[in-house]
Amino acid sequence: MEKSLFPIPLGSEETNLIKTVLQSRHSMVIEDVQESTYVIDPSPFKSQSSQMKSALILPWS
């Protein structure tokens, strides 16, 4: 369970976002990535998925 099946490098923005979700243990809704206050710089998300405009982030804990 330690080995990544899909080694996708995360940007600092994504890492911080996921860290926040994991620490809060609550899901996070981003209705508009471009306008989100959580995502200051949406470019890291764009690099993973150029189509990503909204997202629901769920903690697995």
Partner 1 sequence: MSDYRFGAAILAFDAPRSFPPEEIVYVELASNQVALALKTVQQQLEIEAQLKEAKALAEIERALSESESIGVDKVLQLIVNSAKELIPKADTVILHLIDNEHQLLVPRAVAGFKEKTKRKLNMRLGEGVAGQVIATGKMITVADVNRTPFSTPDCTCEIPFACCGADSKQRKKSWDDQHS
| Residue with Cβ nearer partner 1 (32 or 41) | 32
**Minimum separation from the CB atom of position 32 to partner 1 (A):** 4
Q: Which residues bind partner 1 (CB under 8 A)?
A: 1, 18, 21-22, 27, 29, 31-35, 45, 49, 51-61
Q: Minimal distance in Å, beta carbon 22 to partner 1?
A: 6
At CB < 8 A and 24+ separation, what contacts does 20-28 make?
Answer: 21/57, 21/58, 21/59, 22/59, 22/61, 24/59, 25/59, 25/61, 26/59, 27/56, 27/57, 27/58, 27/59, 28/56, 28/57
